[in-house]
């Protein structure tokens, strides 16, 4: 019988250790299997002690989701912070590659944000929506800079329709006054990058595509050539 460990002896920062362990388990078995008891087991503590830090399982999941969004947003910000403000193609390209790099580096985080939701869990939108919005800001900023400088080839996408404008305007008003064309293109570029990354980490690409980064690299260049 070893003596009860001193408080915090094994886990100097237990709330963080709990989240770290949660991430490990999501990586290993997928988000839907996340369980407080399994986390406690791995930390060799008892399950009820988790309740000292998170009032229930859902609040822990929410904390993980927010962390994941912030991590993505941070990665996007970091990708461009050392590039010249007028290096438009460098910035766009860096954001695309950072998006893929983040996904392959942290597939658990990607899975938690974009994958099938956790059973019986409903995300509180007032917390997750702002966190999600942050992740798109760097991309939108770059496209706005390109457009403001007059280099965005808006003739490469069909002219705005009233229907499209009416869908983009609420976002424009609520989201910082970007031009409508900029918002539109941000969505489209995001979806192209996201589509390829999603197929890659979902293992949907044909088995012979052993280096999806090559496909990705070409598609980024294709986007640059098309719109810049």
Partner DNA sequence: TGTACATCAGTGAACGCGCGTTCACTGATGTAC
- The residue ranges that bind a second copy (CB under 8 A) are 29-33, 111, 114-120, 129, 132, 156-158, 161, 163-164, 167-171, 174-175, 187-188, 190-196, 198-199, 202, 204-211, 214-215, 218-219, 221-222, 226
Phi, psi of 222 (to 5 degrees): -60, -40
Of residues 131 through 190, those in contact with DNA by CB under 7 A are none
Rounded CA-CA distance 26/95 in Å is 26
Pick what 41 binds: a second copy, DNA, none; C-beta below 5 to 8 Å, kind-dependent. DNA
Rounded CA-CA distance 227/10 in Å is 54
Q: Is residue 19 close enough to count as binding DNA by CB under 7 A?
A: no
Q: Closest separation between CB of residue 103 and a second copy, Å?
A: 13
| Candidate list 6, 82, 125, 207; residue touching DNA; CB under 7 A | 6
Rounded CA-CA distance 76/20 in Å is 22
| Candidate list 7, 126, 203, 207; residue touching DNA; CB under 7 A | 7
Of 1-9, 66-74, 88-96, 98-106: span binding DNA (CB under 7 A): 1-9
Q: Closest separation between CB of residue 125 and DNA, Å?
A: 19
Measured CA to CA in angstroms, residue 88 lies from 60, 66, 140, 148 at distances of: 39, 29, 12, 11
Of residues 39 through 68, those in contact with DNA by CB under 7 A are 41, 45-49, 51-53, 56-58
**Residue nearer to DNA on the CB measure, 66 or 83:** 66
Look up tokens 């859902």; give the residue.
Answer: 58
Other CB atoms within a 10 A radius of the CB of residue 50 amount to 22
- Token pair belonging to 96: 């695309």
Rounded CA-CA distance 8/5 in Å is 8
């Amino acid at each position: 019988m070893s003596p009860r460990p001193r408080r915090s002896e094994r886990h100097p920062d237990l709330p963080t250790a709990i989240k770290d362990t949660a991430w490990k388990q999501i990586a290993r078995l997928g988000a839907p299997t996340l369980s407080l008891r399994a986390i406690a087991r791995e930390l060799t503590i008892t399950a009820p002690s988790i309740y000292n830090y998170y009032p229930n399982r859902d609040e822990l999941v929410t904390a993980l989701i927010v962390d994941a969004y912030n991590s993505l947003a941070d990665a996007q910000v970091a990708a461009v912070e050392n590039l010249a403000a007028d290096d438009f193609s460098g910035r766009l390209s860096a954001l695309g590659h950072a998006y893929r790099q983040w996904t392959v580096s942290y597939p658990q985080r990607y899975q938690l944000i974009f994958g099938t939701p956790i059973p019986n869990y409903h995300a509180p939108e007032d917390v997750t929506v702002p966190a999600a919005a942050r992740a798109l800001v760097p991309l939108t900023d770059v496209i706005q800079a390109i457009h403001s400088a007059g280099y965005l080839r808006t003739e490469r996408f069909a002219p705005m329709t009233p229907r499209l404008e009416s869908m983009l305007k609420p976002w424009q008003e609520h989201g910082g006054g970007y031009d409508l064309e900029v918002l539109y293109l941000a969505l489209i570029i995001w979806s192209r990058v996201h589509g390829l990354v999603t197929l890659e980490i979902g293992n949907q690409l044909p088995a012979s595509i052993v280096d999806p980064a090559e496909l990705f690299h070409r598609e980024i260049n294709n986007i640059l050539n098309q719109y810049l």
